[in-house]
Amino acid sequence: MPEPRHPGDRAAPRQPHDLVVVGAGPAGMAAAATSLDGGLRVALVDSGPAPGGQFWRHPPDHAHDAVPTEDLHHDLRTYRSLRAALAAHERTGRLTLLLDHHVWTTAAAADGFTVHAVDRGSPPEERAVVLRAPALLVATGAYDRQLPFPGWDLPGVLTAGGLQALLKGGGVVAGRRVVLGGTGPFLLPVAAALAARGAEVVALCEAAAPSAWLRHPAPLLRHPAKWAEAVGYAGALARHRIPFRTRTGIVGAEGEGRVAVVRTASLDADGAPLPGTERRIEADTVGVGWGFVPQLDLLLPLGCDLADAGDGTVAAAVDAGQRTTVPGLYAAGETCGVGGAALALGEGRVAAVSVLTDLRAPGRPGVRPLAAERRSVARHRAFARALAEAHPVPRDWPAWLTDDTTVCRCEEVTAGAVRAARTDGPASDHRQVKQLTRAGMGWCQGRMCGPAVHCLVAAGAEPYAPAERLIATPVTLGALADSGGSPADGTPSQPI
């Protein structure tokens, strides 16, 4: 693969965009708006129907009035001001906003980067779109980390993020009697939002002990806003009479054809269920979340270094300006480690200022000084590290698996088969387990089961590093064949 030129190298002919930003969540929106304000021509690409990412997920614009979701959001003022800024730049023609466009791969080229996307805006047709720019910013966020348990493959079991996405993106309340479980503060807005829309949240099971936070007073004290948020959620739980059980895990789900009963148990300090504490709760829906895994699909093939994110995952290694180790390639938001929307916004702005600086474009407006933004990013990062330590994936979670619990749902590989691959294989990481058992070889390519398989074989010694996947989303042969064209302005590669 040829070495990319430094973005400041201006020998190459001018391309229609200076920067491609993949991901229009808080990080990508902030990065695009700041780059545009600084005079760049930007393509902002997202697979979703509206900008906002996970935090500000909205129904598509055409359904906006029919599905009111405003009350489920936080900091809508920032969202609206970013959208207004992007809309203004779109009108000047300097922003190309490509929604419903899924980027399936990226490659380094002689004069920067090539970004291959499929336009899924007019199903069932898919059209290939090829973008080129001297600088690329990947802000593709993160996805829910799942740990299997007996019955987790029953209809009615969802990820906590999935429940929230259904609510925010379509006003859909996925169940009537819901049990939530896992770890981390993200469970709180999900419980509050479900209750606000009329679901009965019959238990919120948090695996960690609240006392874990006492070990990290400094980052907490520096974030009074987080305290205020926590108090707000405590009020919502009290108002809706949602039982909040700490050191408790969901250890099983049962039902004929869909969930009818959820089994919970008190957990010891390492996460093993305590004998005699199991309870059975009638419910039709289960939402489970064990934090998030950075979405690195587009970064891995470009060869940038990764770093231990401190929560059992790896993330893009970036410098203080959000530059990856590949010249011209930047990352922001949860691709650099999970830390919430405020951090993602700050990182997006910092990354944009680096792009503006590195492109050194003569005659462009001055670059804003960064010291305050960087200090804020550092504070939010410290908070995210404390959060990860207070809400770890419990070491002994595999204790609630039975040998016949399915771990890889695509290929129907059980916990017993994965354990056998470890002891008899002997496999020492998820890649070897895949070769021996097919776990991670199916439709999702290990995105769902990868972290769990990793825990089962590597026992948490190293963080989970996903395998490189050259194709980030399934694409039709037609779109693949169409991708060889040359347009670089966001139009289909075969003009229509």
- Residues in contact with ligand FAD by CB under 6 A are 22-28, 45-48, 53-55, 102-103, 139-144, 161, 164-165, 186, 189, 292, 295, 298, 333-334, 340-341, 344, 472
Residues 6+ positions from 16 with CB-CB distance below 8 Å? 41, 96, 488, 489, 490
Q: Is 295 or 406 the residue whose CB approaches ligand FAD more closely?
A: 295
Distance of closest approach, residue 33 Cβ to ligand FAD, in angstroms:
13
- Round to whole Å and give the CA distance between 207 and 203: 12
Angle between helix axes 430-437 and 450-458 (nearest 10 degrees) is 100
Q: Is 235 or 426 the residue whose CB approaches ligand FAD more closely?
A: 235
- Round to whole Å and give the CA distance between 449 and 438: 11
Q: Is 67 or 361 the residue whose CB approaches ligand FAD more closely?
A: 67
Residues 6+ positions from 102 with CB-CB distance below 8 Å? 47, 117, 118, 120, 472, 473
**Total Cβ atoms within 10 A of residue 477:** 7
Distance of closest approach, residue 234 Cβ to ligand FAD, in angstroms:
16
| Helix residue ranges, H only, 171-320 | 187-196, 217-221, 224-239
Distance of closest approach, residue 213 Cβ to ligand FAD, in angstroms:
18
Select from 254, 209, 219, 187 the least CA-distant residue to 394: 209
Q: Is 167 or 267 the residue whose CB approaches ligand FAD more closely?
A: 167
Q: Is 45 or 179 the residue whose CB approaches ligand FAD more closely?
A: 45
Distance of closest approach, residue 167 Cβ to ligand FAD, in angstroms:
8
Q: Are 157 and 288 in contact (CB under 8 A)?
A: yes
Distance of closest approach, residue 382 Cβ to ligand FAD, in angstroms:
16
Q: Is 45 or 318 the residue whose CB approaches ligand FAD more closely?
A: 45
Q: Are 405 and 153 in contact (CB under 8 A)?
A: no
**Total Cβ atoms within 10 A of residue 330:** 32
**What single letter denotes the amino acid at residue 187?**
L
Distance of closest approach, residue 289 Cβ to ligand FAD, in angstroms:
9
Q: Is 164 or 406 the residue whose CB approaches ligand FAD more closely?
A: 164
Distance of closest approach, residue 139 Cβ to ligand FAD, in angstroms:
5
